[in-house]
């Protein structure tokens, strides 16, 4: 598992852009909020249940300058009436933090009332972005929603354990669970490693990629209730709103 893109990119100047769109945020504590999504290309992992492999391999990207991406975010955020508009930006992928320098350059060019969330896989050292944008991180303008990869993903959590100690209260930790083994793994991680992140998400795997059957959300709910776990059950809202649609949601 290498935390590098296989495609060379001019750091701080361009982004490997897969798609950009406006939708309803379907995950995290920001679920339900209108959000601008910036999906970047390439990933350091290959999860069995990945639902965005088109942003992981296959070469489906354009090289976009930081300025062009910022301009597009401004366009997508604009509302007809003054005082309205979208202020949430979700950087996702793929693994967005492989392009940390360029995202930091984009964040700096956008208004201070924008809130940026990063859907990161846990296997990229969070120090890198923390050092690039310390003020934005301290203020909560940039929030991580960080996965800890469970065994059912086919990946191995390695850097995630150290990264848990770097999270701030406004950050979130996410476990995507395929079965009871993953659930027990997540419980062990939470009891063994400290984190300041105040939101812990348990999300059942949905059928995707190499996984034909997901985990029933009601089973996961029963386990959480039985164990009185202080975690948030997360069902992907965008898949409820737009069943069968795989892109642009």
Question: What stretch of H or E contains 145?
Answer: strand 142-147
CB-side neighbour CA atoms (13 Å) of 203: 29
Q: Which one of residues 50, 90, 201, 211 is an interface residue with ligand SF4 (CB under 6 A)?
A: 50
Region near ligand SF4 per CB under 6 A, out of 11-19, 32-40, 88-96, 190-198: 88-96
**Which CB sits closer to ligand SF4, 14 or 121?**
121
**Which CB sits closer to ligand SF4, 133 or 157?**
157
Separation of alpha carbons 41 and 94, rounded Å: 5
Q: Which one of residues 26, 93, 152, 204 is an interface residue with ligand SF4 (CB under 6 A)?
A: 93
| Total residues interacting with ligand SF4, rule: CB under 6 A | 11
Q: Which one of residues 17, 36, 38, 45 is an interface residue with ligand SF4 (CB under 6 A)?
A: 45
Separation of alpha carbons 90 and 17, rounded Å: 13
CB-side neighbour CA atoms (13 Å) of 108: 14
**Which CB sits closer to ligand SF4, 51 or 141?**
51
In Å, how far from its chain's centre is CA 63?
21
In Å, how far from its chain's centre is CA 229?
23
Region near ligand SF4 per CB under 6 A, out of 76-84, 87-95, 191-199, 237-245: 87-95
Region near ligand SF4 per CB under 6 A, out of 4-12, 43-51, 68-76, 197-205: 43-51
Separation of alpha carbons 248 and 187, rounded Å: 33
Distances (CA, A) of 59 to 42, 66, 77, 94, 153: 8, 19, 28, 12, 23
- Tell me the per-residue interface mask from 155 to 194 with ligand SF4, x by CB under 6 A, - otherwise: ----------------------------------------
Region near ligand SF4 per CB under 6 A, out of 5-13, 15-23, 93-101, 128-136: 93-101
Separation of alpha carbons 15 and 91, rounded Å: 11
114-153 binders of ligand SF4 (CB under 6 A): 121
Cis ω before 179 (30° cut-off from 0): no
Smallest CA-to-CA distance from 86 within 21, 132, 142, 130 is with 21
Q: Which one of residues 27, 95, 171, 182 is an interface residue with ligand SF4 (CB under 6 A)?
A: 95
Is 52 among the residues that bind ligand SF4 (CB under 6 A)? yes
Which residues of this protein are in contact with ligand SF4, per CB under 6 A? 43, 45-47, 50, 52, 56, 93-95, 121
């Amino acid at each position: 598992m290498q935390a590098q893109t296989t495609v060379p990119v001019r750091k701080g100047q361009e982004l490997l852009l897969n798609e950009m769109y406006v939708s309803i945020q379907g995950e995290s504590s920001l679920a339900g909020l209108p959000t601008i999504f910036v999906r970047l290309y390439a990933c350091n992992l290959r999860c069995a249940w990945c639902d965005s492999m088109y942003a992981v391999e296959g070469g489906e990207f354009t090289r976009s300058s930081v300025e062009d991406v910022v301009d597009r975010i401004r366009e997508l955020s604009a509302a007809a009436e003054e005082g309205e508009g979208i202020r949430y930006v979700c950087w996702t992928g793929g693994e967005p933090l492989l392009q940390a320098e360029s995202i930091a350059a984009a964040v700096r060019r956008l208004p201070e009332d924008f809130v940026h969330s990063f859907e990161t896989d846990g296997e990229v050292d969070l120090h890198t972005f923390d050092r690039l944008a310390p003020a934005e991180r301290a203020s909560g303008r940039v929030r991580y929603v960080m996965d800890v990869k469970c065994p059912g993903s086919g990946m191995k959590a390695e850097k995630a354990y150290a990264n848990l100690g770097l999270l701030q209260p406004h950050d979130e930790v996410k476990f995507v669970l395929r079965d009871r083994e993953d659930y027990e793994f997540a419980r062990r991680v939470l009891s063994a490693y400290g984190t300041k992140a105040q939101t812990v998400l348990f999300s059942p795997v949905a059928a995707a990629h190499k996984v034909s059957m997901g985990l029933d959300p009601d089973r996961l709910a029963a386990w959480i209730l039985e164990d009185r776990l202080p975690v948030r059950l997360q069902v992907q809202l965008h898949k409820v709103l737009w069943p069968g649609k795989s892109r642009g949601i």
